[in-house]
Structure 1
Amino acid sequence: MHYDVFNGDADGILSLVQLRLLAPREAVLVTGVKRDISLLQRVSAAAGDTVQVLDISLEQNLLPLQRLLQQDVAVDYIDHHRAGEIPQSPLLTTHIDLSADTCTALIVDKLLDGQQRLWAIAAAFGDNMLTAARRLAVTLALNDTDTAFLQQLGTLINYNAYGNKVAELHIDPATLFRQLVGYHSPWALRDDFSSPYYVLQAAYARDMQQLSALMPAHNDDVLLLYRLPDAPWAKRISGVLGNQLANANPDKAIAIVTDNPDSTLMISLRAPLNNRQGAGTLCSRFVSGGGRAAAAGINTLPAQQLALFRESVIAYYARG
């Protein structure tokens, strides 16, 4: 048996699309919403099986990874999040790059010598790696129209990943992967007006209409914070909103706070684009928090700790 384990956002899905277009294989797909990163615990592999892991923190999956290695399961791990201590095993292959200007799809692009680069560019745009995405677009001499399409494609796939559960998404990430890998290139996706690109484009437009009534809950020289209600549309647009605000305010940290059904808060924190560090450190101070230097989050912050979180972010980035 082979297992493909991947984050349900643009980076995870399009990393796997690159790999499987070049090397198709039958696999058990293990994925979920963007915040569902403890995926290896759902892999019931046995000796001789293989596992491909994409775009989930090794640090957050260490115990199930160790279990798989002890069971003689070969694991290939590609990621750009906090890794912690990496197990030493001949069964484990790792390609982990913690640089703030990369993502998993760009690591895959290097491993594949750019053979599926169009998908990597879309993934980088979806992960808000705008400079890296445009730099790769130049290597293919893409015109502005094609580059803009790849940016929109990545944005839509990433937008689809946000929610507390798969039922809140427009398309199950496993289903979306199966649909996308059926297209030999993003251009084929654009030419098919029944493709998931157009399904997500229409849904995105409906959800984004809700933004007109939103105002920031906090805004100063250091931090811009929005609070969103416990509603499926709010969860779906939270990532896109965070990226838009980050790009428009490159010197500010961006926090998107979304109410959870249990009265806790879901936090998405982006470090200032001009100072892409510290987000993972800040979020890791809170239970259920973690992430990478440029972007991180907290899944279930007690509401009474919101002021502490806000002041921690302001104090950290005010130091420069």
Structure 2
Amino acid sequence: MEQVNQSSLTEFILDGLTDIPELQLPLFLIFLGVYLVTVVGNLGMIILIVFSSQLHTPMYYLLSSLSFIDCCQSTVVTPKMLVNFVTEKNVISYQECMAQFYFFCVFGVADCYMLAVMAYDRYVAISNPLLYNVTMSYQVCLWMIAGVFGMGFLSSTAYAIFMIRLLFCKANIIRHYFCDYFPLLELSCSSTFINEVLLWSLGSFNIFIIVSILNIHSTGGRLKAFSTCSSHILAVAIFYGSTAFMYLQPPSVSSLGQSKLSSVFYTNVVPMLNPMIYSLRNKDVKVALKKLIQKVNVCTAKNDLY
């Protein structure tokens, strides 16, 4: 009987984003800054929503969940990426690589579904505003969030099961800055047909959910949706565009540089931009932030008096 994992490799070497020595330090500082902005921005959004009663609505519960997913996704990838800039050889064990791959898939798939759920939330708010509180009740919102994470873990478990069954016996250098799907398949010396079919099947299903955003029958309704939900459409376009470019084309078509550049968008740039996209054009968030700052200043002033 075939064993679950016959890999003779105990560790991999991450190739990194670039091998040009002069770029290592500047890129380290840039991506360190991006990571700090990502963590502060997304955690700040979560804290703002938790402590602002006026933001206790389904829309902002979904937004706080998106911020949590973005923060976790960036944390799964970026710290190991930063290590690659300051070490001569970035080694990752087989177990760590599989764990990184698994959790990257969890939060990547969850991000995809969360954006779709948020699109549905805005669609309901625009098309049936009088029934919004009934259709998007707190119970429904919680079930949707649970479903998003459930699909993330379910899909990632399927990806991981078929990944650990592969035999890795070629060179142990992963031509990427983290343990991603196609770079791992390139190192396998066993058949990857099932893995590729699984990715195309689940990946295509996830991407086509975006059609729900345009599922507004009247021209007036569609125009209103674009004017009201421009921030969400921008976030969706960046995320779905970069992921589709990376995963929904044959590995032989895209070059290594293009793959790494596309990966940077959905692992580093998108998680950093989402808090800005959803806050800079959102009056409710701006008002809530001002009120929270005023509360903090009042509490600080009282503490200083005592």
TM-score by length of 2: 0.29
Q: Which has the higher contact order (CA 8 A, sep 6+)?
A: 2
Highest CA radius of gyration, 1 or 2?
Answer: 2
Structure having the larger proportion of residues in strand: 1
TM-score by length of 1: 0.28
Structure having the larger proportion of residues in helix: 2
